[in-house]
A and B are shown apart, each in its own frame.
Chain A
Amino acid sequence: MEDYGYPITDRFVATILGTPEGYEADLPKDIPFKKRWINIFPERHLPDLIWYGQEMIYAEVLQDRPAPLIFLIAGTGAASNGAKNYNMARAFYKAGFHVISIASPTFPNFVSAASRTGVVGHAERDAEDIYRVMEMIWKKLDGEIEATSFNLTGYSLGGFNSAYVAKLDEERKSFNFRRVLLINPPVSLYNSISLLDRMVENIPGGEDNFDQFFNRLVEGFSKVYKDQDDIGGDFLYQAYKAMDLKDEELAALIGVSFRLSSASMVFTSDVMTDFGYVKPKGLVLDRYADLTRYNQVTNRLGFTDYYHDFFYPYYKADYPDMTRDEFISAISLRGIADYLRNSPKITVMHNENDIILEPGEIEFFNEVFGERATIYPFGGHCGNINYRDNVAHMVATFTEGAN
């Protein structure tokens, strides 16, 4: 690992910039990656405000001959055709796999179309939702294509989901996954979410200065945008250089982007369940309603607020023996550590300096997975996911020993 060539050693910079040009894996430019729609709960009637969320969107790219199949699960707030899943699809398609890409359960469309309850973030329940989606997609494809084996991977929260989906598969046995790879997963979901929520506190001058901070970012981007004739692939990198952001500001940026994506998820759940979290219970909003004020309020709330004041109260009746803290801290890979320890098919790819782990949490992976955990010295949170060595590692995980 000493000669690991990923070029960004700073954990925040890596997380934001990802893999710079010239370090990426060599992948096909165009693949026939297609969006698809599937009606998971045909009997469901959504509130008018989110009428468009009835069918679940996923994406697929298929080989024209029998091939191993891999499911991808996206990270927090990400769509099935988000950049990270798309790049993974390119890599696996090139390596000869059928690829089916699924959004994160925290993606608003998943919440409305594929979550049984509309309140996501629960390890086992999310796994059941994802598993149902996988079964229904496969039912559509079975006969059309031939899969020589089933495999599974996901990054970030999608890695966490993959672990629980793999465990569920041991009982249901619809797929009998051959290999499962967890990429940069959290250990305790609540710990990771708290870390990300708290990053917003890094805004210079505190959260009250959010406006100035935001304007400064927009100005930085604007300057680079105006100076360029074309927006090249290294636009983000140039903007970063031009703005000369300090580590705290980079952390704040990550916190803000996390908050914005959770705002959309939480509001969808609130509208769907009529829970009364930010929208008054009983108030019906139609598809043309002005949502400005709701957007403002959800942008001011964190993911942790959701866990304490929506998620826990919503499920509390189903788990009468658990306190709030017990309930929330149970959403962790520690709860299935024995299963993970004894499942040779599950491997981990992680980074020593991942920003979503508490100090020391990375040790969990060495302890539980032993040889099956590969911890890179840097890369931040998924920053190195497109780096050529990491992509090669990812692909090799699924091609080794395959016939």
Chain B
Amino acid sequence: MKSLTLRTCALLALLSLGACSTTPPAEPQASYPEPVFAIDRIVPADAVDITSVYDPWEGMNKRIYNFNYHFDQWVFLPVVRGWQAVVPRPARRGVHNFFENFRDVRTMANSILQASPRKFFQSTGRVLVNSTIGLFGVIDVATSMGMPKPDEDFGQTLGHWGVGTGPYLVLPLLGPSNVRDGVGLYPDLVLQNYIQDDLLAQPVRATTFLFDSIDTRENTSFRYYETGSAFEYQTVRWLYSTKRELDVEK
């Protein structure tokens, strides 16, 4: 498993070279007057930053972060607004539940891989109820019945078996991630495609990727740069990493 991560790192590092002309050297050529609170005077050289996350590709990541903002502004969010304007709320709810039902299937598969009977039975119960009484997942009956909804993906499965996260990674369109979770998206996608190919009629199948994306963006409240803080990037990085760490342990 470890070599897998390493190889992926190497691959991504290679890919990143093209996109990433690194930030100009921070060391100023000219000497600047010392600020009122100079870093070297206030922060001890050996100070550990507890919110730090391994992020060797920060320059590239910040560029993708920036790209994602612009994609949001010009494409993603306008499409979401159009969707909201055209499709009434109950119908959007149904679409959302429909895709969530597939996410429960993903959790089922990963619960098996993690050898977790509890999560497996919980997610299987949900899928059975929602796919039948819930009319192919359109109505979330399971939640109304108070059935817990565990959420497992392949990134967590890798983490469960001790695979480290690798470097932090901001994915185009998808946002905060890391090498392990990024790699984990692929098996989950393969599984989902396999099931959807099997279950859905062709005209519906052809549109699922699009509507899944719109639905996901609609239900993600995060907006790039809206905290206004210059430290947003590292705050988000720390929050994402901490949350994922806990999700793996959960």
Q: Give me the interface of A with B, judged by CB distance under 8 Å.
A: 49-50, 52-53, 57, 79, 107-112, 211, 214-215, 218, 222, 225-226, 229-230, 263-264, 267-268, 271, 276-283, 286-297, 300-301, 305, 309-310
Q: Give Cα distance in the complex from A263 to B37, angstroms.
A: 13
Q: Give Cα distance in the complex from A3 to B115, angstroms.
A: 55
Q: Please state if A278 and B228 are interface contacts (CB–CB under 8 Å).
A: no
Name the CB-closest residue of A to B249.
Answer: A226
Q: Which residues of chain B are within 8 angstroms of A108 by Cβ–Cβ distance?
A: 227-230
Majority secondary structure, B binding face: loop
Q: Give Cα distance in the complex from A295 to B232, angstroms.
A: 10
Contacts A225-B250, A281-B33 given; indicate if A296 touches B230 (C-beta within 8 A).
no
Give 5 A-B contacts (CB < 8 Å), ordered by A residue.
A280-B28, A281-B33, A283-B28, A289-B26, A294-B39
Known: A225-B246, A277-B36. 16 other contacts (CB 8 A): A57-B226, A222-B249, A229-B149, A276-B36, A279-B35, A280-B32, A281-B32, A286-B24, A287-B66, A288-B23, A288-B66, A291-B234, A292-B49, A293-B43, A297-B42, A300-B42
Total number of B residues with any Cβ neighbor in A under 8 Å: 42
B52: interface (CB < 8 Å): yes
- Other-chain residue from A49, A268, A301, A305 in contact with B228 (beta carbon distance below 8 A): A268
Q: Please state if B43 and A296 are interface contacts (CB–CB under 8 Å).
A: yes
CB distance from A205 to the nearest CB of B (A): 15
CB distance from A41 to the nearest CB of B (A): 16
Q: Which residues of chain B are within 8 angstroms of A267 by Cβ–Cβ distance?
A: 229-231
Please tell me which stretch of B7-15, B55-63, B105-113 contacts chain A, meaning at least 4 of its Cβ atoms lie within 8 angstroms of it: B55-63
Contact code string B223-250 (vs A, CB < 8 Å = 1, else 0): 0011111110110000000100010011
Q: Which residues of chain B are within 8 angstroms of A277 by Cβ–Cβ distance?
A: 35-37
B83: interface (CB < 8 Å): no
Q: Please state if A218 and B242 are interface contacts (CB–CB under 8 Å).
A: yes
CB distance from A277 to the nearest CB of B (A): 5
Q: Please state if A229 and B49 are interface contacts (CB–CB under 8 Å).
A: no
B50: interface (CB < 8 Å): yes
Q: Please state if A292 and B230 are interface contacts (CB–CB under 8 Å).
A: no
Q: Please state if A280 and B34 are interface contacts (CB–CB under 8 Å).
A: yes
Q: Which residues of chain B are within 8 angstroms of A230 by Cβ–Cβ distance?
A: 148-149
Q: Please state if B39 and A293 are interface contacts (CB–CB under 8 Å).
A: yes
Residue of B37, B43, B69 ringed by the most chain A CB atoms within 10 A: B37
Q: Which residues of chain A are within 8 angstroms of B26 by Cβ–Cβ distance?
A: 289-290
CB distance from A33 to the nearest CB of B (A): 13
- Other-chain residue from B39, B233, B250 in contact with A296 (beta carbon distance below 8 A): B39
Q: Give Cα distance in the complex from A214 to B50, angstroms.
A: 8
Q: Which residues of chain A are within 8 angstroms of B250 by Cβ–Cβ distance?
A: 225-226
